[in-house]
Amino acid sequence: MTTVERTQVFLLPDLGEGLSEAEIVEWRVAVGDVVTVDQSVVEVETAKAVVDVPCPYAGRVVTLHGAAGEVRPVGQPLITIAPLDGGDEPAGHATYREEERAGSGNVLIGYGTGHGTATRRRRRPRLAVAPEPADAGPTGGTGAAAGAAPGGQAAPPAALVISPIVRRLAREHGVDLDTVRGTGPGGVIRRADVEAALTAPAARLAAVPDPQVGSAPAGDGDVIVPLTGVRKVIADKLSRSRREIPEVTIWVDVDATGLLETRAAINAATPDAPVSILALLARICLSGLRRFPQLNARVDSEAQRIVQSAGVHLGIAAQTDRGLLVPVLRDAQRLTTAELAAELAATTAAVRAGSLPPARLTGGTFTLNNYGVFGVDGSTPIINHPEAALLGVGRIVDKPWVVDGQLAVRKVTQLSLTFDHRVCDGGVAGGFLRHVADCVERPALLIAAV
């Protein structure tokens, strides 16, 4: 059997719920390199996260299927591995483990079924890599000749960009990184450099989108932002929510003075484990969902049924550099208030850094959205499909409030509940929101209900 016949082709695995493709950010290996089982071979970006993909095979890299900036569909070839000369494998490694035979990798589980043709976005600039020597071995794929230019002449040096966030920012705003002067160490392009380029008078997209039926032409000076990546996923999900869910929003103003005082008392008693207002609001939501489980549900339209979840998988809306993401705290009802606070802090930090696994961004059953951080009082948010409800919290500000018949200045916020009218009627939704409001105003009620 020849070496070619014995090569193993690793397909791009399923990267998470609803993800059908991924963009290659950077190859960790080159043609001719020797890899071991579970070695990370490529960094890819999905609509939800930037992740490293481990290879389930050991041997020598024959082909890299795709270049940095190219989008690969799930289930299509990613990398081809051949056994080492003589068929020997690196000591202590199996070429193909039992779990890979079942179609799973070490970190990214399962394989998709998509077999569409690979599409290509504008190529991402990356750190320049020395070209492979002429006798490095067989080449193949679009990533095998990154160091050469047509005609045998050396390619111009690539822009020095390390951060995926910087690459993403440039791509989304149409900035050509080859024209940006890096001010970081060694000429590395930083985020501030891209933002400075955006403010320059010449910062315009050179590319014009393909003409489509019914589309309006771009005018002079218009900035075109491609609807891709996270923005596309958000658009698709929210559009589906509006199409399928008959949503209703109700709201109430509440005096949050007691909640702030309770938080101060807790933090004074446990300075090593402080709790946030968001953690207390999450605790109150969990109490409300225990009383009104109809809101911790989803509608299964195909089976014509409502599924009430046994556990509360609490989603927390978080604004990040990549867009609005909703990380999920699974079985949040099992956590103490201190554990909720710690988990919320760690989760929001991880999602903003882009290090949260894609699996942590799906599967929520109820969402808490603190849009008060943007300095606004109220909102009518769109439900995070396929959930059935979302609680929104506005900013907490000083307002005149009547207390025991006397006018006083209190800390006031607005709570809004958006719910799927298919899972319940106004009585349940109003009961939940009133319970939340009462606990915010009188936190002792929350303790009494524990």
What residues are labeled active site?
421
State the number of CA atoms in the 13 A half-sphere of 160 facing the CB: 10
How many Cβ atoms from other residues are within 10 Å of residue 150's Cβ? 7
Short-list 364, 365, 426, 415, CA closest to 392? 415
Short-list 314, 262, 259, 261, CA closest to 288? 314
Spatial neighbors of 424 by CB under 8 A, at least 6 apart, are 292, 294, 295, 388
Residue 352 to residues 225, 358, 439, Cα–Cα distance (Å): 22, 13, 30
The owner of tokens 């569409």 is 116
Q: Quick check: 75 and 57 in contact, CB under 8 A?
A: no
3-state secondary structure of 169: helix
**Rounded distance, CA 22 to CA 12, Å?**
8
Short-list 306, 322, 326, CA closest to 367? 326
Short-list 411, 160, 157, 124, CA closest to 277? 411
**Rounded distance, CA 367 to CA 389, Å?**
7
Written as one string, the DSSP assignment of 342-389 is HHHHHHHHHHHHT-S-GGGGS--SEEEEEGGGGT-S---PPP-TTBSE
